[in-house]
Amino acid sequence: MPPKVYKGTFAAQTDVGRVRVSNEDRATVLTNSSGDVFLCVCDGMGGQNKGDFASSLAIDYLVDAFKNKRKTPLILTKYWLRKAIRSVNSLIYNQAYDNPVYKDMGTTCVAVYIQGDKMVVANLGDSRAYSFGIRGLRRLTSDQTYVDYLYRTGKISERERESSPERHVLMNALGIYPSCSMDIEVQPYEGEAILLCSDGLYNNVSEPEIRAVLLTDERADQKVSSLINEANANGGSDNVGIAYWEAIND
């Protein structure tokens, strides 16, 4: 019996927030004729429009790659996503190497590819992927930060992790080095809503608050707008990027 193909609604949106001058976040959700779903959020870094350029390069490349992707078995989809992200890394790194204006630019990247009853989850940096369903709001990724590494290895407590002034120091990102490593794995998919976001959301909106918005009867685009409004109401300390998919269960 072939795996179920889920239908759904989706939305992607970014916002500059209330503190930053420019918006370096990018977000997208795409579907194809096979019923596959691709979500991605990138949070650029480097300042002076470098982060904006890096995140735009990443999103534009991955969007084109998805549009040109042929139908493949799941194992090849994982290989495709890994290869595409590595190609983006080389693109950003080479642009920065060739043009001193873009020196030290980079971007986080979190992506989810839903194919039937499975999803491929890839992550570099501290943007996050969540699922929301009968098991509640569940994080699918781990932040690739120095403080999170200290927490996972038992060197600091959860309270110290949440309050550390170094909690935003990244250990991984796209475009910083000639080659990149990423967390990438296949997970089961059972029709849960999928939320990808930059740190501008979860640093300003708690997980219980995120859950409360996702529980409403609003449309997908309204939920995304509500989350951004909540982040800005709570200080808007950073850009916010959100990509959201909500399956319609028959």
Least confident range from 117-121, 147-151, 200-204, 217-221: namely: 147-151
Residue 166 has pLDDT above 80, yes or no: no
Q: Which amino acid does the sequence have at 10?
A: F
What total number of domains does the chain contain?
Answer: 1
- Judge whether 169 lies within some domain: yes
Which residue(s) pair with 129 in the sheet? Answer: 196
Strands annotated E in the chain: 7-15, 25-31, 37-45, 106-107, 109-115, 118-124, 128-133, 136-139, 183-188, 193-197, 240-248
The answer to whether 175 touches 110, Cβ cutoff 8 Å, is no
The Cα–Cα gap between 197 and 245 comes to 12
Return the biggest CA–CA distance within the chain.
54
Confidence of residue 150 (pLDDT cuts 50, 70, 90): confident
Instruction: Extract the tokens encoding 196.
Output: 């990808």
Predicted TM-score (pTM) of this structure: 0.94
Least reliable range by pLDDT among 109-123, 151-165, 181-195: 151-165
Q: Is the pLDDT of residue 155 over 80?
A: no
- In-domain check, residue 213: yes
**CA dihedral for 132, 136, 137, 138, sign (positive or negative):** negative
What average pLDDT does the chain have? 93
CA distances to 41, 65, 69, 71, 99 from 25, rounded to whole Å, are 7, 20, 24, 29, 22
Would you say residue 14 lies in a domain?
A: yes
The mean pLDDT of 148-158, rounded to a whole number, is 73
Report the relative pairing of strands 118-124 and 106-107 from DSSP bridges.
unpaired
Once rounded to an integer, what is the mean pLDDT over residues 84-110? 95
**pLDDT on residue 152:** 74
Nearest to 129 by CA among 218, 40, 214: 40
pLDDT at 88 exceeding the cut of 90: yes
pLDDT at site 15: 98
Residue 250 confidence class, pLDDT cut points 50, 70, 90: low
Closest alpha carbon to 89 in 103, 106, 77? 106
The pLDDT value recorded for residue 48 is 64
Q: Is 1 part of any domain?
A: no
- The whole domain housing 160 covers 7-245
Q: What is the pLDDT of residues 173-231, one digit of tens each?
A: 999 999 999 999 999 999 999 999 999 999 999 999 999 999 999 999 999 999 999 99
Does the residue 26 lie in any domain?
Answer: yes
Q: Cα(191)–Cα(249) distance, rounded to whole angstroms?
A: 7
> How far, in Å, are 3, 120, 188, 189, 229 from residue 110 at the CA level?
25, 11, 17, 17, 22
146 falls within a domain: yes
CATH of the domain at 202: 3.60.40.10
Poorest-pLDDT segment among 44-48, 69-73, 114-118, 131-135: 44-48
Flag whether 2 is in a domain.
no
Whether residue 90 lies inside any domain: the answer is: yes
13-57 pLDDT, tens digit each: 999 999 999 999 999 999 999 999 999 999 999 876 799 999 999
First vs last Cα of the chain: how many Å apart?
18
In this prediction, residue 159 has a pLDDT band, given cuts at 50, 70 and 90, of: confident
CA pseudo-torsion sign 48, 50, 55, 60: positive
User: Which structure tokens are listed for 73?
Assistant: 């078995």
Task: Average the pLDDT over 140-151 and give the result.
Answer: 83
Distance between CA 197 and CA 62 in Å, rounded? 17
